[in-house]
């Protein structure tokens, strides 16, 4: 092996070592500077979709002098805040949360706890009075370190009016069945009519239960809150994470380089071989 070849191999070896060290240094800096739990992605608890809370707001269609006598609209709406936070002091922040819920008379409508110490998570569906919504969601978002927050407001006035119309239609049908029943008939006809009356009454009861969630007495807004515990890693764990990531990434880079060189060699060999065949034929 010539002197130039040895020098080239030495430069290649040093370049590969330098690449590994640069990757390791960069990853180590990242591991030591990132906060605990930065790799956590919050997925809202599927059970929260089963809870539906509604609130009301009364307002004039147009608030101008010309609108005297304009109809007043009783708006029904659904307001939801989705908040996700992480903390290294899980127990203390959970006590803060419970204190807030007591202060604002909030209702925990659904709760899910999971995980072991050092990696715990609690998911809550909280019902709050509409007038307290802004204040409590602002304070809850200060618990731990908030990783995501979304607040949505959806108008449900049409759904409410549709439910009212359905209930009135059912009541009219019930009245007509009761009228038919008063006229008498055969035993079979009366039994069939009684069965229809029972079915309509059950539908009306379901409508009343649904409409009750729109009442001012039951008016609530929803806060879906998740508190995730993530304790800090030791120096050894951070170095090990950096080493593992660097080794995996380095192997991938080397494999890609080797495949690239091998492909180039094969293409060059094929080109020269084809060129040689064409030269011999000519």
Q: What is the pLDDT of residues 137-165, one digit of tens each?
A: 999 999 999 999 999 999 988 888 898 89
The residue-averaged pLDDT of 70-89 equals 84
pLDDT at 126 over 80: yes
Residue percentage of the chain with pLDDT more than 70: 84
DSSP string, 187-199: HHHHHHHHHHHHH
Q: Mark whether 133 and 219 lie in a shared domain.
A: yes
Q: What are the DSSP E strand ranges found in 135-280?
A: 145-155, 221-229
CA distances from 250 to 11, 244, 253, 256 (A): 18, 10, 5, 10
Q: Is residue 196 part of a domain?
A: yes
pLDDT for residue 36 is more than 80: no
Q: Establish if 218 belongs to a structural domain.
A: yes
Contact 88, 229 (CB under 8 A): yes
pLDDT of residue 105: 94
Residues 148 and 128 in one domain: yes
- Indicate whether 97 pLDDT > 80: yes
Q: Residue 75: beta bridge partners?
A: 57
Cα 88 from Cα 174, distance rounded (Å) = 60
What b/e sequence results for 7-46 when a residue is b if at least 16 CB atoms lie within 10 Å of its CB, and e otherwise?
eeeeeeeeeeeebbeebbeebbeebeeeeebeeeebeebe
The answer, yes or no, to whether residue 66 has pLDDT greater than 50, is no
Burial tier of 223 (Cβ tally within 10 Å: 0-12, 13-18, 19+): buried
Nearest Cα to 178, choosing from 190, 166, 167, 168? 190
Pair 94, 22 in one domain: no
pTM: 0.61
H or E element: which one contains 169?
helix 157-182
Instruction: Check if the beta carbon of residue 151 is closer than 8 Å to that of residue 79.
Output: yes
* Domain boundaries, position 147: 46-156+214-229
- pLDDT for 41 equals 44
Shared domain check, 240 and 188 = no
Residues near 107 by beta carbon (within 8 Å), at least 6 away in sequence: 126, 127, 128, 220
pLDDT category at 49 given cuts 50, 70, 90 is low
Residue 180 located in a structural domain: yes
Residues 142, 102: Cα–Cα separation, whole Å: 17
| Predicted confidence (pLDDT) at residue 40 exceeds the cutoff of 70 | no
**In this predicted structure, what is the pLDDT of residue 91?**
92
Phi, psi torsion values for 164, nearest 5 degrees: -60, -45
pLDDT at 39: 47
Q: Is the pLDDT of residue 62 over 50?
A: no
Residue 53 forms part of a structural domain: yes
Share of the chain above pLDDT 90, in %: 34
pLDDT for residue 175 is more than 70:
yes
Residue 257 is predicted with a pLDDT of 87
**Does residue 102 sit in the same domain as residue 193?**
no
Position 184 confidence tier, pLDDT thresholds 50, 70, 90: confident
The band of 132, judged by pLDDT with boundaries at 50, 70 and 90, is: very high
pLDDT at 271: 78
pLDDT at 224 over 60: yes
β-strand partners of 146: 85
Whether 243 maps to a domain, the answer reads yes
The answer to whether position 271 is within a domain reads: no
- State yes or no: pLDDT of 65 exceeds 80: no
Question: Cβ contacts of residue 184 below 8 Å, gap of 6+?
Answer: 190
Number of domain units in the chain: 3
Residue 282 lies inside a defined structural domain of this protein: no
Q: pLDDT band at 42, cuts 50/70/90?
A: very low
Arithmetic mean of pLDDT, 117-121: 84
Q: Which two tokens stand for residue 275?
A: 């060129």
DSSP type of residue 143: S
């Amino acid at each position: 092996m010539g002197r130039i070849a040895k020098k080239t191999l030495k430069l290649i070896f040093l370049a590969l070592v330098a690449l590994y060290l640069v990757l390791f240094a960069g990853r180590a800096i990242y591991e030591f500077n990132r906060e605990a739990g930065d790799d956590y992605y919050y997925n809202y608890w599927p059970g929260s979709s089963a809870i539906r809370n509604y609130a009301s707001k009364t307002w004039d269609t147009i608030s101008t002098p010309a609108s005297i006598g304009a109809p007043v609209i009783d708006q029904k709406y659904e307001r939801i805040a989705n908040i996700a936070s992480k903390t290294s002091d899980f127990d203390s922040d959970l006590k803060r949360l419970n204190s807030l819920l007591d202060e604002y008379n909030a209702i925990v409508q659904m709760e899910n706890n999971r995980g072991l110490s050092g990696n715990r998570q609690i998911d809550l569906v909280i019902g709050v009075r509409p007038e307290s919504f802004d204040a409590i969601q602002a304070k809850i978002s200060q618990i731990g370190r908030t990783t995501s927050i979304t607040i949505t407001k959806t108008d449900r006035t049409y759904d409410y009016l549709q439910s009212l119309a359905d209930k009135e239609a059912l009541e009219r049908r019930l009245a007509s069945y009761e009228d038919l029943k008063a006229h008498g008939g055969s035993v079979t006809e009366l039994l069939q009519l009684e069965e229809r009356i029972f079915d309509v009454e059950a539908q009306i009861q379901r409508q009343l239960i649904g409409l009750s969630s729109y009442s001012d007495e039951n008016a609530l807004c929803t806060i879906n809150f998740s508190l995730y515990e993530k304790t800090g890693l030791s120096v050894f764990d951070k170095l090990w994470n950096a080493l593992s990531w660097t080794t995996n990434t380095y192997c991938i880079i080397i494999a890609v380089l080797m495949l690239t060189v091998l492909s180039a060699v094969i293409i060059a060999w094929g080109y020269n071989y084809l060129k040689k065949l064409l030269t011999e034929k000519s």
